[in-house]
Amino acid sequence: MDSSLVLPTMPERPNIDPSIDVEAEIERLRKERNAVILAHYYQDGEIQDLADFTGDSLGLSQQAAKTDADVILFCGVHFMAETAKILNPTKTVLLPDADAGCSLADRCPGDLFAKWLEQYPDHTVVSYINTTAAIKAQSDIICTSSNAVRVVESLPKDAKIVFAPDRHLGAWVEKNTGREMVKWPGFCVVHEQFTARKLVQLRERNPGAQIIAHPECEQTVLDMADFIGSTTGLIEHVKNSPEKVFIVATEMGVLHSMQRHRPDATLIGAPPDSGCECASCPYMRLNTLDKLYVALRDMKPEITLDEELRKRALKPVERMLALG
């Protein structure tokens, strides 16, 4: 892993009256504010359980595009809440912890990206949704891991393509579309930690287990997978598969939803190559129930965006959403 990356530390507990029933207060404030609570599948189970809608990045941006709530409490990371704001300029969008970033988005700054793109003036720019508004504003179309292949296939056959910022997702899209792309060399700190070596060991201990993986994993890991899919793709696979034991190479939060659909299945989170037993996104983990309550109570941290930037970032997001 890149040693210059600064990862968030353990979530701090906000100073709130210990006699408060936080869940009941969230319930009350959600009604009072006319708020919708959106949660990514990587959030803790208790957050997923109280959300109005739980989904992957694509599902959540579709929900954000159609909500009639006044307030969107986005339980995910910054780029997800920012995408909700791009789609809803007049609504209040709250993120429980303002520091909930993403290694992909944080390591692809707008100014460096603009300079890099100067080398590829005649290319179509496809950017993963895990980017800031500054990158979206320089892109022709956005994709998520659910629709990346479809997005690239929607481009003219002779289009030259730049793909940013995840190099592994980019390589997987190349493999599935037969299209060559210029790739920004970004990576996810969670998915990059899975290794083929650890998977081989785990499979030896669990013969017959199916390995399933997110396309942000590196190629040697994907080569071992029986199924590769986005967060929703992986959950749907487990839901509908006749198999009973799964080794899951993605963020451990998805196990909550998988287990709910398949209480009979044995789900084994693939361990990262770091000594930890489970792969947990340190940014997602910054959001806690206490912080959800404080965000609804104080109506902050709020996502704000320069209007000109928002309009430029909106176009490629809308182009993706129009694909369905």
What string marks each residue from 276 to 305 as x (binds ligand SF4 by CB under 6 A) or -?
A: -----x-xx---------------------
> Across the strands, what pairs with 39?
54, 75
131 makes contact with ligand 13P (CB under 6 A)? no
The beta strand positions in 227-303, using DSSP E, are: 227-228, 245-249, 266-269
**107: Cβ contacts below 8 Å, ≥ 6 apart:** 2, 5, 165, 186
Residue 103 binds which of ligand SF4, ligand 13P, none (CB < 5-8 A, kind-dependent): ligand SF4
- DSSP conformation class of 162: E
**Of 39, 58, 189, 212, which one interacts with ligand SF4 (CB under 6 A)?**
189
Our finding on whether 48 is near ligand 13P (CB under 6 A) is no
- Does 132 bind ligand 13P (CB under 6 A)? Our answer is no
Q: Is 84 in the site for ligand SF4 (CB under 6 A)?
A: no
> Which among ligand 13P, ligand SF4, none contacts residue 67 (Cβ within 5 to 8 A by kind)?
none
The total number of residues written for the chain in this structure: 324
Beta carbons of 76 and 43 less than 8 angstroms apart: yes
Cβ neighbours, 10 Å, residue 295: 26
Q: How many helices (H) and strands (E) does the chain have?
A: 15, 12
Both tokens of residue 184?
């920004």
Minimum separation from the CB atom of position 46 to ligand SF4 (A): 19
Among 57, 63, 131, 210, indicate the residue that binds ligand 13P (CB under 6 A).
57
For ligand 13P (CB under 6 A), the number of binding residues is 10
| Among 43, 61, 193, 231, contact with ligand 13P (rule: CB under 6 A) | 231
Min dist CB 208 to ligand 13P, Å, is 26
d(CA 309, CA 65): 18
- In 3D space, the residue among 311, 296, 6 whose CA is nearest the CA of residue 133 turns out to be 311
Task: Give the residue ranges of DSSP H helices in 127-242.
Answer: 133-136, 148-153, 167-177, 196-205, 219-224, 231-240
Residue 63 sits in the site that holds ligand 13P (CB under 6 A):
no
Q: Which of residues 1-60 bind ligand SF4 (CB under 6 A)?
A: none
**Least spacing, CB of residue 16 vs ligand 13P, in Å:** 29
Residue 204 is encoded by which pair of tokens? 């030896």
Nearer to ligand SF4, 63 or 230 (CB): 230
The residues of the shown chain that bind ligand 13P, judged by CB under 6 A, are 56-57, 130, 144-146, 188, 216, 230-231
The residues of the shown chain that bind ligand SF4, judged by CB under 6 A, are 77, 102-104, 130, 188-190, 251, 281, 283-284
